[in-house]
Structure formats: C-alpha cells, structure tokens
Amino acid sequence: MQINARSFCAVCILPLKYISPSLSSLLFRPGLPAAAATAAIMFWKFDLNNTSHIDQLLDREGVTLRELMEEEDVLQECKAQNRKLLLFLSKDHCMLELVTLITEEPPSDLEEKTRFKFPNIACELLTSDVALINDKLGGDESLLEKLYHFLEQEPPLNPLLASFFSKTIGNLIARKTDQVISFLRKKHNFISLVLNHIDASAMMDLLLRLISCVEPAPLRMEVLNWLNEERLIQRLTELMHTGRDEERQSNASQTLCDIIRLSRDQANQLSEVTEPDPLLAVLESQENVAELLKNMFEGERTEASVVNGTEVLLTLLESRRSGLEGLMDLYSQGCERSYTVNSSILRAIEPHLKDFQQLLLNPPMRSAILTTVGVLEQPLGSARLHVARLVASLLQTYDLSICQEICRLNTMDLLLDLFFKYTWNNFLHLQVELCVASILNHSAHADLQNPGLQNHEERPATGTGNQAEEGTPGQNSTSDPLFQHCRLVQRILDAWEENDKIQAEGGRRRGNMGHLTRIANTVVQNLEKGLAHSQINDLIKELPEDCRGRWESFVGDTLRETNRRNTVDLVRKVSTHNLHSSSEDDDMESPFPNDLSIQQAFSDYQIQQMTANFVDQFGFNDEEFSEHDENINAAFDRIAEINFNIDADDHSANSAAFEACCKERIQQFDDCEEEEDIWDEKEINYATQIKSRSRYSTWMISAGSGSATGAWEGSPGQKAPLVASDSSSSGGSDSEEDPGENKTESSPKTLANQTTAPSR
C-alpha cells in the first residue's frame, strides 16, 4: 500500500510547515510505505528522539544529588537501569546522603508539603530493586551502621521516617539476606530497640519481614531460632499488660496474631518440615497463654487490654473460615473440624473463664453514644463483644471440660440476655447464634466420641461432670441448661410476640429478628432430624403445657410462614432450583428450608446470570465478525430456560392458553426461504407473521401482540406495530428489575383475551 505524504499529513491535522526538513525529505520520497510514514510522523509528533534531561545533567560538571532528585523522571530512569545515573547514585557520598535523608528529621522550617519530598524520593531510589544499589547498600557496613543508628533514637520515632527505614531494611532482608541477617545478629540490642519503638507500626512490619521474607528454608529456621533465643514472643506478650500504652498493646497484639497466621501458613506450604516452628510452639504453649491471660486481667481491667488479648486468643483458636461462612460449615459438618486446636491453649483458658464471665457482668465503663435508633446509655462495648466471640470459638472446639464450665457459669444465659437487650447489634447476634448451634451439635456428639480425642493433639481433659454412658446420648448434655435454665424456647416466643405487638402498633421490626429466626430454625432442625432429636424432644415435652402449645403453634404457623416469606423472592430468582415443592404434603414434610440449599441455589443463580451473557458482553466475540443471520437464533435460544410460576386454576382459559404457548417450539431458520427486507413498510397481520416467521410466534404472544384470531385490530390504513424484544427474550437477566416485582404474572393477564393458541 502506498500513501501520499501530503494527504496523510492533512488527515492527521499535521501542518506541513511544522515538519522538519529532514522529515519532509523522508515523507515526500516516492513510494514511501504507509507504515513508515506513520512511524515517522508519530516519532516527530511525540518527540520520541529526545534524550532524558537527566543525561544532560549528568554530563555537566558539579551536578548534585538534589538537582537530580528534582527531576520528575529520576525514579523512572533508575528503574529503567540508566547506567550513567546508577553509577552516579552508587557513589559513596550519594549513598550516604540518601541514607541520611531517610533517617534524619528534615528541617522544621520547610513547608510541610515539601518537607518530606526528598526523603520519600530517597527511599524510593534505595528500594527500587536495582542490583547495583542493593549491592552497595548491603555490602557497605558503614551504610548499615548509619541505618541502624535510626533505631537508637529515643521514642517516639517520626512515623514517616520509620516507614522509610522499615521499607529499606525490609528490601535488604529480601535481596541481601546473608549480609543483613549477619549484621543484625551481631547487634545484641536489636530486638530490644525494635520493641522499644513498637508503637510505630513500621517496626511491626520489620519483625514480620524477618519471619516471612528470609530464604532459603534453613536460613529462615536459623532466624526463627535466633528470634526465639531473644525471647521475642515473651517480650511481645509482656507488652499486653494492662498498664502499657494502648498503642503498644495494639501493635504487639497485631504482631502476635500475624506471627501465628504466618507460621501456620508456612508450615502448611512446606512439603517437608524438618523441625517445628519455635515461635509458634512458644505461642501455643500453656505457659505463654497463661501469661497472656495474667497480663490481661492483672490490675485494672481496661477495654484495650481485654480486646487486644482476646484477639490473640481468637487467632490461636482460629479456623480457616469465620463469620457466616463458619456458621455454614458448622451446619454442614456437625462436630467434625477441619483443623486441630492444641489442648494446651484450652487448658490455659479454662481457669480464666470466670474472669470473662465477670466482663459480661461488669464491663469497662463506656459513655453513652448516639446511634441511628437513638441514644444508647450503656453500649455493649468491644470488650463484651470479644468475650462473645471467644465463647463461640471455645464452644466450636467441642472440648467437654470447656463446655461444661461454660454451662456451670451460666455464660449462655448472660449472652442471651445481651442478645435480647441489644436488638440492633448484629455482630453480637451472630456470635450468640454460633453458640446455640455449637451447643446443639455438641449435645448430639458428646457421647459418641470423646471430643478431646477427636479435635486435640494432646490428652483430653478430665471433665468435672458425669459423662453419659455409651449408647445413651444426652445425659448431662450441654443442651439441658439451654432449654431449662436459659429458657431458650420461652425467650424465642416472648421476643417474637413482643415484636409482633410493636409492629402492629406501627413500630419498626427489631434488628435481631433475622438471627432469632435462624436460631428457631436450628432448634427445629435438630428436633426433627438431628442426632440429638430424641433428647431435645424430651426437653420440649418437659416444658409447661401452655408453653409447649405456644411452641407447636409457632412452629406450625408463624415460623413456617416466616420461612416461606423469606425465601419466596429467592425462589422467584432461582428459577432452575426447586427449593419448595408445590404440593401441600411436601410443605408439611419440610417446612424449614435448609440454609445450605438456599446458599448453594443462590450461588448457582449468580453464576448462571454471569455466564449467560458473559461471552457476549466481554470484549470482542466471534459474532461481531460473522454474518448476523448465522447467529440470529442465539438470542432466542435462552427462552427455554425461563420458568413461569402462575397462580391460576389449572382448568381456566388462562392456564390452557399458557400451556399451549409453552408447548410451542421455536423453529430454526430455513436457509432456503426467500429473505425479505424487514425494514420495508407494509401491512403486517398476525397470520402472515406466523407464516413467514413462525419462529417468532411464542415470543410475540408473550409480548402481548395479536388477538384471538391473530389479525391486527386497528383503524383502517393504520400500520401494524413492530414487536420489540423484551429482556427475557433477548437473553437479558431479570436481576436488573425490581426484586419485589413478579414479572411472571403479566403472562396470564396478556393471554386473557386469547381463546385459542396459534398454530404452527
């Protein structure tokens, strides 16, 4: 392909008078290919031949580091391995100046927005991951000493400089591991200095880099043993004491939690573990957990110490999934656990359960707060919420001794009191729900297998209560206090009736009703088909007669209707899943939906909606480069996937017409059929439409066009209306519509005037 240069320049709106003579001679050469002309103009237009201004500066004598750092592209040139720039930066005086910038406070008289400009650029240059700079910084001990001197300052450190220091040292740990680790191990006060500045979160990041970024595995184990010899875990635990600064407590707690997760993850990833992680072993030891609890409760109990200490305990008890996902696991797995809990952790926690109980009764004082539902005089507080989380986690371990102690202390009774008192705290409601589900599951399995042997690595604890004999499930079960002392059934009924009364008076539905519904469903499911159904049935029978009657009425009517109402919208959406049987007998057999079925159905529905049009909507597809006629049926292929649910008499005219329409099949295009111009204006009636485009028949009827005879009824000379495709016929998702709108109800109304179905 040839191109006229003058025409090309005109098209590009590029005046020829601005083209340089050398470029003109090139463009106007006879036979110049179009690609070459384009490249030449783009090269000239965007000034791609310009050399970097940094190179010009470096060619000048006496250029300073500050002058180079003023250039906007200095970092880009550094990462692009500009040899001349790297040689300049790696000079001794430049490296010293860069380290000084990130470790010394800039003058206070500078403008605040530019005060840390050069320290920030210096940090980016030092951590640009360029081998020449890494080698210079990691191999020069004087520069490492300059960096280390930053830790020897009195606290508090400037947080921004601390982040620059941590990032630089962290990069060296990953890139020059041997040199840096050898240097730090010679500094006997390194760990002490880092912990002295633990109030700066950057120091926490530095410790985690030492644990996670050292390779290979033997060297990493040497570092872990060194940190263990320095008593890192014990020192961090000491920082959790109630008398410590809250910022130090919080960062120490977060560091311990991250060490637990990192150590467990790395242990799982390593195919061959030569020896256990020494830091994790100390963290999970009974002595260290006991020391942590002592620091939490010794002296004045503050909310910060309780919350931060409990976070560490929760991490030690942590499963792979928590929250709602953990609840679904609990329902599906019963008492089977996907992980093990070191029994030494539980043995250390057990004596302090009474201390956590006291926190529920007498929490740290908090002032009243204004919420969206009014003033809360006595907020629940983070301390009590964390206690609820801890109790839920402990119950999920199914440790017999722990569960019996919780029952003896009546902890569940207190949690239920809080559940009904703080009706708008869904964080609390979820934890109480987890507790109830765990207790019911524990009752089902406590006598089938010793939970200490099932879930824990060491010997089971000696329970304080009488264990049930084998084959007699339920004796002295943990669910007995739940139904007897805690009066769970009565509380559910009373709370429900009170909420109905509030709503009847025009009030707002309480915020805990959703979780209360789930708790009631959990009780009913365990009563009907749980392993402890006979025991729970006996407990229900022991209720007062009036209470038992209220419960049976509640389960048969109120709860059934609530479940139907809660799932009806989902059932409408999930058209491919029959979550409810249409017969009354099936409803009587299974009135309570399985949460896992609903979750799976909704998940499948979401995937269906994503994949239905994913190829059509994402990027380019083959249809854009092929004849339209080849794919014209694709838009109608999905009609078969649509389910219509109508509430009509089976013998009504609407039903008959609807069934006839559903039996209609969309015929394929006849390639031999003579094509016609669909845009020609002409008289169109329903009969000819069926004859020439019978594949549209069902679609047009569902759109509501035509009468009983199929002829267009309009004024003389009036054009027949064009039938437009709706979202369902074009494969569109109905998820964009109002979820409360039942669009399937329009079909029988549309067909009301049709006495016969159209024939093919």
Is residue 607 predicted with pLDDT exceeding 70? no
173 and 106 together in one domain? yes
558 and 423 together in one domain? no
DSSP string, 73-140: THHHHHHTT-HHHHHHHTSHHHHHHHHHHHHSPPPTTS-HHHHTHHHHHHHHHHTS--HHHHHHHHH-
- Quickly count: other Cβ atoms within 10 Å of residue 27's Cβ: 21
Q: Under the phi-then-psi rule, with left for phi > 0, alpha for psi from -120 to 50, and beta for the rest, what region is 478? A: alpha
Query: Distance (Å, rounded) from C-alpha 308 to C-alpha 296?
Result: 9
439 and 491 together in one domain? no
106-128 residue pLDDT tens: 988 888 778 999 999 999 999 99
User: Is position 57 within any domain?
Assistant: yes
Banded pLDDT at 718 (limits 50, 70, 90)? very low
Q: Under the phi-then-psi rule, with left for phi > 0, alpha for psi from -120 to 50, and beta for the rest, what region is 286? A: alpha
Q: Under the phi-then-psi rule, with left for phi > 0, alpha for psi from -120 to 50, and beta for the rest, what region is 374? A: left
The packing angle between helices 488-504 and 513-529, to 10°, is 140
Mean pLDDT, residues 139-162: 94
DSSP designation for 476? T
* pLDDT given at position 707: 36
CB distance 396 to 440 below 8 Å: no
- The residue range of the domain holding 548 is 487-568
Mean pLDDT, residues 168-188: 94
End-to-end CA distance of the chain: 55
User: Is position 724 within any domain?
Assistant: no
3-state secondary structure of 362: coil
The larger pLDDT score, comparing residue 610 to residue 245, is at: 245
499 and 441 together in one domain? no
The packing angle between helices 411-421 and 381-395, to 10°, is 130
- Pick from 61-70, 632-641, 665-674 the range whose average pLDDT is largest: 61-70
Mean pLDDT, residues 168-194: 94
* pLDDT given at position 217: 86
Banded pLDDT at 337 (limits 50, 70, 90)? very low
439 and 525 together in one domain? no
- Quickly count: other Cβ atoms within 10 Å of residue 333's Cβ: 11
Query: Distance (Å, rounded) from C-alpha 712 to C-alpha 706?
Result: 6
88 and 164 together in one domain? yes
CA 63 to chain centre: 51
Query: Distance (Å, rounded) from C-alpha 410 to C-alpha 357?
Result: 9
User: Is position 393 within any domain?
Assistant: yes
525-565 residue pLDDT tens: 988 886 777 888 888 888 888 899 999 999 999 999 999 98
60-73 residue pLDDT tens: 888 999 999 999 89
- Our count of domains for the chain comes to 3
Calculate the CA dihedral of residues 456, 459, 460, 462 and round it to 10 degrees. Answer: -160
Query: Distance (Å, rounded) from C-alpha 540 to C-alpha 28?
Result: 98
133 and 212 together in one domain? yes
The larger pLDDT score, comparing residue 490 to residue 671, is at: 490
Is residue 620 predicted with pLDDT exceeding 50? no
* pLDDT given at position 562: 92
176 and 73 together in one domain? yes
Banded pLDDT at 32 (limits 50, 70, 90)? low
- Both tokens assigned to 586: 């099936």
User: Is position 304 within any domain?
Assistant: no
Domain-terminating residue out of 230, 260, 288:
230
Phi/psi for 615 (5° steps) reads -65, -40
Query: Of 237-251, 659-673, 709-723, which gets the smallest average pLDDT?
Result: 709-723
% of the chain surpassing 90 pLDDT: 45
Q: Tokens 């320095």, residue?
A: 230
* pLDDT given at position 744: 40
Query: Of 174-178, 361-365, 392-396, 647-651, which gets the smallest average pLDDT?
Result: 647-651
Half-sphere exposure of residue 504: CA atoms within 13 angstroms, side-chain side: 6
70 and 166 together in one domain? yes
User: Is position 187 within any domain?
Assistant: yes
62 and 199 together in one domain? yes
Q: What is the average pLDDT score of the chain?
A: 74
Domain-terminating residue out of 552, 568, 584:
568
User: Is position 122 within any domain?
Assistant: yes
Is residue 493 predicted with pLDDT exceeding 90? yes
Is residue 458 predicted with pLDDT exceeding 80? no
Query: Of 80-89, 212-221, 573-582, which gets the smallest average pLDDT?
Result: 573-582
CA 172 to chain centre: 32
Query: Of 208-217, 268-277, 349-358, which gets the smallest average pLDDT?
Result: 268-277
Is residue 677 predicted with pLDDT exceeding 70? no
User: Is position 657 within any domain?
Assistant: no
DSSP designation for 655? H
71 and 210 together in one domain? yes
Non-local (6+) Cβ contacts of 73 within 8 A are 52, 53, 54
User: Is position 460 within any domain?
Assistant: no
Query: Distance (Å, rounded) from C-alpha 459 to C-alpha 734?
Result: 57
- Quickly count: other Cβ atoms within 10 Å of residue 563's Cβ: 19
* pLDDT given at position 38: 61
Non-local (6+) Cβ contacts of 455 within 8 A are 337, 340, 341, 397, 398, 399
% of the chain surpassing 70 pLDDT: 59
- Quickly count: other Cβ atoms within 10 Å of residue 241's Cβ: 19
Is residue 716 predicted with pLDDT exceeding 70? no
Query: What are the C-alpha distances in Å from 482 to residues 13, 162, 320, 502?
Result: 82, 52, 28, 27
Mean pLDDT, residues 341-362: 94
* pLDDT given at position 34: 60
**Closest residue by Cα to residue 292 from 315, 307, 278, 313:** 313
* pLDDT given at position 187: 92
* pLDDT given at position 571: 57
* pLDDT given at position 467: 37
* pLDDT given at position 473: 39
Banded pLDDT at 300 (limits 50, 70, 90)? confident
497 and 555 together in one domain? yes
375-429 residue pLDDT tens: 888 899 999 999 999 999 999 998 999 999 999 999 999 999 999 999 999 999 9
Domain-terminating residue out of 189, 214, 230:
230
Is residue 685 predicted with pLDDT exceeding 80? no
The larger pLDDT score, comparing residue 309 to residue 52, is at: 309
